[in-house]
């Protein structure tokens, strides 16, 4: 089995576990009163997200130099882009815009990383 196929399988399993953990956490929290049990239940999705992170880091370590460079540049774009967008929106919140949940940050970062990787792969074709 190739490294990329193994990555897709491990990543898919980890994301599936994350989705299940989010569902279980959301459904269970409503039945619990405030306290340590509810707090721990809210943090349940973090465990599979750690597995997702380890899977991604392991995959990046196995890439060749060009692919690593592309992903490093993509992550730099994602970091700077996320910082600029979230800070800009923070200032807009002071002008009366609705507050956004922190749940918006990671999808924004992931989308910018994907866009940056796409740009990098196009540049080096």
Q: Of 125, 118, 11, nearest to 73 (Cα)? A: 118
**By C-alpha distance, which of 67, 50, 53, 58 is closest to 3?**
58
- Do 53 and 70 fall within a single domain? no
Within this chain, do residues 35 and 69 fall inside the same structural domain, yes or no?
no
Would you place residue 3 in the very low, low, confident or very high pLDDT band (cuts 50, 70, 90)?
confident
Cβ count near 74 (within 10 Å): 20
Q: Tell the residue number behind the tokens 């990787």, with chain if given.
A: 117
Same domain, 111 and 71: yes
State mean pLDDT over 92-107.
93
Q: Are residues 4 and 54 in the same domain?
A: yes
Element (H, E) at 35: none
Alpha-carbon gap, residue 40 to 37, rounded angstroms: 5
**Model confidence at 20: pLDDT above 80:** yes
Q: Residue 96 is part of which domain span? A: 64-125
The answer to whether the CB of 81 falls within 8 A of the CB of 107 is no
**What is the pLDDT confidence band of residue 48, given thresholds at 50, 70 and 90?**
very high
Neighbours of 54 (CB within 10 A): 12
Residue 106 DSSP one-character state = H
| Counted domains in the chain | 2
Of 62, 79, 99, which closes a domain? 62
Confidence of residue 46 (pLDDT cuts 50, 70, 90): very high
Q: How many CB atoms lie within 10 A of CB 14?
A: 20
| Same-domain check for residues 68 and 116 | yes
Write out pLDDT tens, residues 51-91.
999 999 999 999 999 999 999 999 999 999 999 999 999 99
């Amino acid at each position: 089995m190739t490294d990329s196929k193994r990555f897709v399988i491990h990543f898919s399993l980890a994301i599936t576990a994350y989705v299940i953990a989010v569902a279980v956490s959301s459904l269970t929290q409503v039945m619990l009163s405030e306290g340590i049990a509810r707090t721990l239940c809210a943090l349940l999705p973090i465990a599979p997200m750690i597995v997702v992170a380890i899977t991604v880091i392991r995959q990046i370590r196995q890439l060749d130099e060009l692919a690593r460079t592309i992903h490093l540049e993509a992550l730099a774009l994602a970091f700077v882009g996320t910082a600029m967008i979230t800070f800009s929106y923070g200032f807009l919140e002071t002008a009366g815009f609705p507050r956004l949940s922190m749940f918006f940050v990671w999808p924004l970062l992931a989308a910018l990383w994907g866009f940056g990787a796409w740009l990098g792969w196009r540049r080096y074709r």
